[in-house]
Structure 1
Amino acid sequence: MTSSAGTDVTNAEFDGILAGRPLMAIFRGLGVDRSIELARRAWDLGIEAVELPIQSEADVDALAAVAEAGRAEGRLVGAGTVVSTRHVELAASVGAAFTVSPGLDADVVRASAAAGLPPLPGVATPTEVQAAMALGLTWLKAFPASLLGPAWFRAMAGPFPDARFVATGGMDAQNAAAFLDAGVRTVAVGSALADPAQLPALAALLRR
């Protein structure tokens, strides 16, 4: 699909990164050692995709370390909270495989795609979903998912049957199933992976 600006953009790569994978992991502001520890826990559990938001130099260091560890094991690690083209440059420089943003910014989307990093922008309204799809995107991050609720995704399925949503924000082992049942393709969890009590429930979700 071609955007109104004449720039071809796609994030169909997520068909391979996330399709058939009900869970994705997010580790925010945990530092290098803890991020690697939890990333390995996610990978061992069966969660393939990991995202580390980059909001500080320490976050960039953690992303670089986890991305390196991921490459050694054939895992993909993305950069999150990418809100500027400079963030895209940082993500690419430390080996991120994709970018995730809290909102929809066409410049960030295009810069990310141009850098070879599939972009996953955030949406929360039908207008934003329509705008993202007009750019050529099919995979979208719905944020904050816990406030939108499962019914939002059912409502979006009518006008936007080709949209594939990743539910992010306030997700854990207790509420993830309701969102998956509502048509969400992937649920992004973070602190749940640091809670041993939630690991069995997360493992059960991966067997869906």
Structure 2
Amino acid sequence: MTKTMEKIIAGKVIAIVRGISEKNILPTVQALKDGGVTCIEVTFSMSSAGKSAETVHSIRKIKEHFGDEITLGAGTVLTPEAVALAKEAGATYIISPNIDEAVIKETKRLGLVSIPGAVTPSEVYQAYCWGADIVKLFPAASLGLGYVKAVLGPLDGIPVAAVGGIDATNYQAFLNAGCVGVGIGGNLVNQRLIEAGDFHGITKLALEYGLK
């Protein structure tokens, strides 16, 4: 198991950072870190090339400021080209909402941890066969805890993370069901608090997960 995989599994919670402005990116990550959340996913936006460039810049900025104190990944990675950009900026794992053979194989070729997104048992198994290290079940809360348990039953040798609709009230149930981790977006990385400059509020949300 790679050091990045060990850190992701030990960290349990990956904070999904989406659409945070450049001036707020470092204070947001610091607030999450102060609350015990040290795995951070910065997502790409497919809306424009400019938005993608902002993501790369944010990843680089976090890496330069925090170094190995943060286990840093890129999210919504849909192309092999985006994998390469994310690695160059400092990402050590790649998360996608879908399974794509080319993306998974490029991720592994570059020595990064691969976490593609799947819904069905067939997709979970296919992603694992292509080289995925962890498979993201998405949207986990919408699918339901019962569904996640049912998928994990016959596929218990494949590391699975739950993403989508996860918060402080239900994340432990998904871990108890056998997930190796969870990804949490707006329920943790609250845009309203960040835009108001209430980074202490972000730390309080992070502390609810009991990681510190």
| Deviation at residue 48 of structure 1 after TM alignment | 1.8
Unaligned runs of 5+ in 2: 46-50, 194-199
| Deviation at residue 170 of structure 1 after TM alignment | 2.2
In structure 2, distance between residues paired with 1:63 and 1:207: 23
**Superposition pairs of residues 13-162 of structure 1, within 5 angstroms:** 14-55=4-45, 56=51, 57-71=53-67, 74-162=69-157
Q: Could you tell me which amino acid in structure 2 is paired with residue 58 of structure 1?
A: E
User: TM-score if structure 2 supplies the norm length?
Assistant: 0.82
Q: Would you identify which runs of 4 or more consecutive aligned residues in structure 1 move more than 6 Å? A: none
- More deviation, 186-195/115-124: 186-195
Indicate conservation of the 8 Å contact 1:22/1:205, yes or no. no
In structure 2, distance between residues paired with 1:144 and 1:21: 20
1:179 paired with 2:183, answer: no
| Deviation at residue 111 of structure 1 after TM alignment | 0.5
Unaligned runs of 5+ in 1: 1-10
Per-residue deviation, residues 156-202 of structure 1 (Å, max 9, x unmatched): 12210112221112222233233223222211112224356685564
Say how many residue pairs are matched: 197
In structure 2, distance between residues paired with 1:119 and 1:15: 10
In structure 2, distance between residues paired with 1:199 and 1:74: 16
- Structure 2 CA distance for partners of 1:198 and 1:153, relative to 1, 3 Å: farther
- More deviation, 171-180/128-137: 171-180
In structure 1, distance between residues paired with 2:139 and 2:124: 14
In structure 2, distance between residues paired with 1:173 and 1:12: 28
The alignment partner of 1:41 has SS state of helix
| Deviation at residue 28 of structure 1 after TM alignment | 0.3
Indicate conservation of the 8 Å contact 1:21/1:185, yes or no. no
User: TM-score if structure 1 supplies the norm length?
Assistant: 0.84
Q: Could you tell me which amino acid in structure 1 is paired with residue 22 of structure 2?
A: V
Q: Could you tell me which amino acid in structure 1 is paired with residue 56 of structure 2?
A: V
In structure 2, distance between residues paired with 1:54 and 1:182: 30
